[in-house]
Structure 1
Amino acid sequence: MFKDIIVGVTPTGIDACAVKAAIRFAERFESQLYLTHVAGMEQGWGSIEHLAPSGETDQIGTKIREMYAEYLGITPGAQVVVVPGIPHSELLRLARQKNTDLIVMGPHTQEYEEKRSKMWGMAGSTLERVSQRARCPVMIVHKEVECKDPLFENIVVATDFSDQAECAVAYGGQMARQYKAKLTVMHVCEPGGQGRNECLARLEHDYGPRLDGVVGVDFKAAAGEPAMEILLAARQSGADLVIMAHHSKESDPEKAFLGSTVTQVALNAPCPTMSVNRHFDLRCGLMYDQTGQVAKAEALV
């Protein structure tokens, strides 16, 4: 499912939860894994160009290898990549070079617990820019992921019936098949729109035929504030993964991220949240036009 995975790391170890999650994916799918750190922000803008010649990037790489030696030992193909530069630019550049299938990101700061709302939501943050521009799904891991087998047993996919959400549902279906997991596909009805019964009927009609082979599919229609309802469904189902389209109905990526439903869910979910952005959606659209709706869902995964 994922052949090449990038996980953002720091020498502090604050994102060990993200590293562990990425390693489990790499194990499951026999993926090439890149533990990636972008150096420069801590040292100051003026010194970025001198980091590689001075040997500092090599020193950071050595520290990361030592820190994650236990995990690197069980993923022989994993590589530690340390480059100088601007974090989001270098992460995205490496993702393009490697044609990455998945980017995994954690909090990346020691002040995460105190400043998480500012860090995740502020314009210009590394997470924001990577999530907006990545050409593959971005998994946001903000807390420890239980290392169990199977890794995922209960998956929740939120859809607003947009084209972007088609990608999220397709990914959810493939993950559920891979892990033999239970899958909940849900929609939060808009005020003044269709009622719950109508929304539920549409969920079953639109997605039921495409999820053949998934054991334990459940369709759920809710009414209320979207983020709260998605979080409630995740907790009630014991979800260990939530999948959502990052930019669904908002065309302006800046507005879509700030205060978005995905951000609110990712900050508070009891499990990782997978975000699918507009760039990946464009690829989905091409598949849809060329092969048709059902083939599109299969081609995505």
Structure 2
Amino acid sequence: MFKDIIVGISLTGIDDCAMKLATELAEKFEANLYPIHVAGMEQGWGSIQHLEHSGETERLKKQLEERYSLSLEKLPNSEVMVVPGIPHNELLRLARKKKTDLIVMGPHTKEYEEKRSHMWGMAGSTLERVSQKARCPILIIRKDVVCKEPLFERILVATDFSKQAECAINYGGQLARQYNAQIKLINVTEEESQNAESMKRLKGEYEARLRGVKECGYEVCSGEAAVEILHIAQESNTDLIVMAHHSKEQDPEKAFLGSTVTQVALNAPCPTMSVNHYFDLRCGLMYDQSGQVIDG
């Protein structure tokens, strides 16, 4: 299913939960794993260009290889990388180079992002920027989870009927078929008076796309999107939330701040997957956008 996996790691250990799941997935699917740390935060912008020449990146690489040695010894196809630069730029660059089919990321502290913003004058977190621009799914982990069998049993997909959300529904449907999992589609409206029309639209637009899914449910509620999604995920004992990372904000800087997918991912009881482009699983069956199996 996954053949090339990138996982963002740091020297603080805050990404340990992401690293743990990434190594388990790589072992399960015999995938190539690329743990990457982007150096530059501690040294400051003016020092980035000197990190490689000074041998600092190599020193940090050895430090991280030692930290994760027990996990990586099970993975012959793994390579720890330390590169100087801006975190989201380097993660996206590596994902394009390796044609990655999954990026795994952990949470970042508020202090880390504030320091980054003051140092580089950039609004928005690495998590938000990678999620918004990556062409492969992003799996966001905020706490240790078990890589179980089957991998996913109850999948929750949130939609606002946008074009980006269709990508999330398409990918959620592929996962549900692959793992014979239950899937629930939800839409959060601004007013309760819109609920009946939204339910009609959910079934009308997406039932055909989810052909072949063992069990498919629909739910509409009104309120604050992130709050309602988290409530339903908890209530349904969901083990994966799938969403599209986007915003209706026209200002790209404002769009990075407080996005629904980030609010959900950093508070969810399970992993959250951000999908922004149509993407096919690397598995035995391939599906088109309407949910039909593609022969060959």
* TM-score bracket for the superposition, by shorter chain length: 0.7 to 0.9
2:112 and 2:159 map into 1 onto residues whose CA distance is 26
Shift of 1:33: 1.4
Q: How does 1:1-16 map to 2 (within 5 A)?
A: 1-16=1-16
Shift of 1:187: 0.9
Residue 61 of structure 1: aligned partner: 61
1:177–1:213 CA contact under 8 A, matched in 2:
yes
Shift of 1:173: 1.3
Residue 200 of structure 2: aligned partner: 201
Residue 98 of structure 2: aligned partner: 98
Shift of 1:50: 2.3
Q: How does 1:231-270 map to 2 (within 5 A)?
A: 231-247=230-246, 249-270=248-269
1:7–1:22 CA contact under 8 A, matched in 2:
yes
The answer as to 2:89 corresponding to 1:86 is no
Q: Which amino acid aligns with 2:39?
A: A
1:231 and 1:131 map into 2 onto residues whose CA distance is 19
Residue 74 of structure 1: aligned partner: 74
1:259 and 1:270 map into 2 onto residues whose CA distance is 19
Shift of 1:270: 0.9
Shift of 1:192: 7.0
Deviation per residue, 1:198-256 (Å, 9 max, x gap): 32232222222222232222111112221111111100111121111111544443333
Shift of 1:47: 2.5
1:120–1:263 CA contact under 8 A, matched in 2:
no
Residue 226 of structure 1: aligned partner: 225
1:190 and 1:293 map into 2 onto residues whose CA distance is 28
Per the alignment, do residues 28 and 201 of structure 1 end up closer, same or farther by CA in structure 2, a change over 3 Å counting?
A: farther
Q: How does 1:17-32 map to 2 (within 5 A)?
A: 17-32=17-32
1:120 and 1:237 map into 2 onto residues whose CA distance is 37
Q: How does 1:178-197 map to 2 (within 5 A)?
A: 178-191=178-191, 194-196=194-196
Residue 287 of structure 1: aligned partner: none
Per the alignment, do residues 49 and 255 of structure 1 end up closer, same or farther by CA in structure 2, a change over 3 Å counting?
A: closer
TM-score (norm 1): 0.83
Shift of 1:171: 1.2
SS at 1:294 equivalent: coil
Q: Which amino acid aligns with 2:232?
A: A
Q: Which amino acid aligns with 1:294?
A: S
Greater fraction of residues in helix? 1
Residue 171 of structure 1: aligned partner: 171
Deviation per residue, 1:16-44 (Å, 9 max, x gap): 11112222332343322110011122122
Q: Percent identity?
A: 60
Q: How does 1:98-177 map to 2 (within 5 A)?
A: 98-108=98-108, 112=109, 115=111, 123-177=123-177
Residue 49 of structure 2: aligned partner: 49
SS at 2:80 equivalent: strand
Q: Which amino acid aligns with 2:262?
A: T
Deviates more, 1:99-108 or 1:118-127: 118-127
1:27 and 1:149 map into 2 onto residues whose CA distance is 13
1:132–1:253 CA contact under 8 A, matched in 2:
no
Per the alignment, do residues 183 and 192 of structure 1 end up closer, same or farther by CA in structure 2, a change over 3 Å counting?
A: closer
Shift of 1:164: 0.8
SS at 1:147 equivalent: coil
Residue 288 of structure 1: aligned partner: none
RMSD: 2.9
Q: Show structure 1 runs of 5+ residues with no match.
A: 285-290
Q: Which amino acid aligns with 2:258?
A: G
2:125 and 2:194 map into 1 onto residues whose CA distance is 36
SS at 2:202 equivalent: helix
Q: Which amino acid aligns with 2:260?
A: T
2:24 and 2:206 map into 1 onto residues whose CA distance is 28
Q: Which amino acid aligns with 2:290?
A: V
1:224 and 1:38 map into 2 onto residues whose CA distance is 38
1:97 and 1:219 map into 2 onto residues whose CA distance is 38
Deviates more, 1:240-249 or 1:159-168: 240-249
Deviation per residue, 1:163-218 (Å, 9 max, x gap): 1111101111122223332211111123276333x322322222222222322221
Per the alignment, do residues 89 and 233 of structure 1 end up closer, same or farther by CA in structure 2, a change over 3 Å counting?
A: same
2:5 and 2:256 map into 1 onto residues whose CA distance is 23
1:249 and 1:83 map into 2 onto residues whose CA distance is 33
